[in-house]
């Protein structure tokens, strides 16, 4: 599909273009989505991995002198590393949730509700932890379009890993916050644009609630280790993704433990219903 050909800009609206990075994988789908917002002044959301051809495509699509800001949804290695090369080429200001944790030089930390205003657009930052502690979404007021990074994806479910700072309780709270918003579309960090935000968010929340019920049902049958739980509930998951599935189970168990509904120590321990 041309829309997901790496390095080829795809217009999503009068204000937004998407360039897909050349890093496809089972975890990233077609690749990381980099978004260019604005025409006269451009905000680049998630420059992606450190790939020279991808940075060249960003500059070619937006014109070097028009890139004013680089906005990071979070600091994971498929979203942030190209920032340094892009800033060296454009002099853009880097904005992220924290000045310390992005792995790149951040000029300004964004708090929940902070705004970036270009000549043609207004982007509001929303702190949406869960996938990572530093995760931000960006709301484009003019189009009611939400850039969701890895909080909500196109065509698959996001990963919540405690080893990467993921927090299932915070993740569900962030999803429910988005569900209360009047969104027209979602522009995810991976995959295609979501034209039915409420349905997708309902599905995301329902998916996590179903997994939680499945885990509790296994624990009701007796104490179990995480690989046993994965084997019981991830029956259709490819073998290559079972380790990731184990991380999801751990994230749910940590949440249940914080609520007094499960007891266990870590990834290797035995867990039981509390």
d(CA 32, CA 79): 7
pLDDT range class, residue 3, cuts 50, 70, 90: confident
CA 163 to chain centre: 16
Half-sphere exposure of 219 (CA within 13 A, CB side): 22
Query: C-alpha distances in angstroms, 81 versus 28, 40, 159?
Result: 15, 25, 20
Query: How many of the other CB atoms lie within 10 Å of CB of 198?
Result: 13
Helix (H, G, I), strand (E, B) or coil at 4: helix
pLDDT of res. 2: 54
pLDDT of res. 1: 46
pLDDT of res. 64: 83
Q: In the sheet that 136-140 helps form, which strands lie side by side, from edge to edge?
A: 115-117, 122-127, 136-140, 145-149, 185-188
- Mean pLDDT of the 235-260 span: 95
Minimum mean pLDDT among 99-113, 146-160, 237-251: which range? 99-113
Q: Residue 79 is encoded by which pair of tokens?
A: 């979203």
Domains assigned to the chain: 2-195 (3.60.15.10), 207-273 (1.10.10.10)
Decide if 231 contacts 224 (C-beta within 8 A): no
Check pLDDT > 80 for residue 100: no
pLDDT of res. 19: 97
pLDDT range class, residue 102, cuts 50, 70, 90: low
Q: Which residue has the higher pLDDT, 252 or 1?
A: 252
d(CA 238, CA 190): 20
pLDDT for 158-184, tens place per residue?
999 998 899 999 999 999 999 999 999
Helices (H), 63-96: 83-90
Strands 122-127 and 145-149: unpaired
pLDDT for 14-71, tens place per residue?
999 999 999 999 889 999 999 999 999 999 999 999 999 999 999 999 888 899 999 9
d(CA 186, CA 59): 24
The angle subtended at Cα 86 by Cα 81 and Cα 89, nearest 5°, is 150
Q: Which of 78, 134, 150, 192 is catalytic?
A: 78
Residue 236 designated active-site? no
Most confident stretch, 97-101, 103-107, 145-149: 145-149
CA 92 to chain centre: 22
pLDDT for 196-232, tens place per residue?
999 999 999 999 999 999 999 999 999 999 999 999 9
Q: Residue 184 is encoded by which pair of tokens?
A: 């027209």
């Amino acid at each position: 599909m041309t829309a997901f050909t790496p390095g080829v800009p795809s217009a999503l609206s009068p204000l937004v273009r998407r360039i897909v990075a050349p890093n496809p994988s089972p975890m990233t789908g077609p690749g990381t989505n980099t978004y260019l917002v604005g025409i006269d002044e451009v905000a680049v959301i998630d420059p992606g991995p450190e790939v020279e051809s991808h940075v060249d495509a960003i500059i070619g699509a937006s014109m070097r002198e028009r890139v004013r800001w680089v906005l990071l949804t979070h600091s994971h290695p498929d979203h942030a590393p190209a920032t340094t090369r892009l800033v060296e080429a454009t002099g853009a200001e880097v904005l992220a949730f924290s000045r310390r944790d992005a792995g790149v030089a951040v000029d300004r930390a964004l708090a929940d509700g902070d705004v970036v205003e270009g000549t043609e657009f207004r982007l509001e930052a929303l702190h949406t932890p869960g996938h990572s502690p530093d995760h931000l979404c960006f709301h484009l007021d003019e189009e009611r379009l939400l850039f969701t990074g890895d909080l909500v994806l196109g065509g698959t479910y996001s990963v919540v890993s405690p080893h990467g700072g993921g927090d299932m309780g915070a993740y569900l709270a962030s999803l429910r916050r988005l569900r209360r918003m009047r969104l027209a579309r979602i522009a995810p960090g991976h995959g295609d644009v979501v034209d039915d935000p409420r349905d997708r968010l309902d599905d995301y929340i329902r998916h996590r609630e179903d997994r939680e019920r499945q885990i509790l049902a296994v624990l009701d049958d007796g104490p179990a280790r995480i690989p046993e739980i994965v084997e019981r509930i991830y029956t259709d998951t490819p073998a290559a993704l079972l380790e990731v599935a184990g991380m999801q189970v751990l994230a749910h168990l940590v949440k249940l433990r914080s609520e007094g509904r499960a007891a266990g120590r870590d990834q290797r321990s035995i867990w039981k219903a509390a």
